[in-house]
Amino acid sequence: MPDYRELVEFIVKRLVLQPEHVDVSERTDDRGVTAITIRVAREDIGRVIGKKGATINAIRLVAKAAAVKVNDRVDVDISEDE
C-alpha cells in the first residue's frame, strides 16, 4: 500500500510559506477508506486551497490516482492549524 500521508505531505510542504507548520495525519475507517487530513498555518491555507479550490483538488487527484493503482480509496481534507 502506498504511503498517502507522505505523498500529500511532500506536495503540501513545497506549496506553503511555513512548511514547519504542516501536519498531515492518516487514518483508515472500517470500510477501508483512508482519510488524510492536512493542517497548515492560517496564512498558508489559501495557498493549499488555491483559486476556486484548484490546488486542493489537484492534491486530491494525485492521491486518488495513487490509490486507484492498488485498488484503495483515499479522501483528502484540509484543516486550519490552531
- The pLDDT tens digits for 26-51 are 999 999 899 999 999 999 999 999 99
Give me the domains of the chain, ranges plus CATH numbers.
Answer: 4-80 (3.30.300.20)
CB 59 within 8 A of CB 4: no
Is the pTM of the predicted complex or chain greater than 0.85? yes
**H helices of the chain, where?**
4-13, 45-49, 54-69
pLDDT at 70: 92
d(CA 59, CA 63): 6
CB 57 within 8 A of CB 31: no
pLDDT of 82 higher than 70 = no
Mean pLDDT score across all residues of the chain: 94
pLDDT of 7 higher than 90 = yes
d(CA 54, CA 72): 23
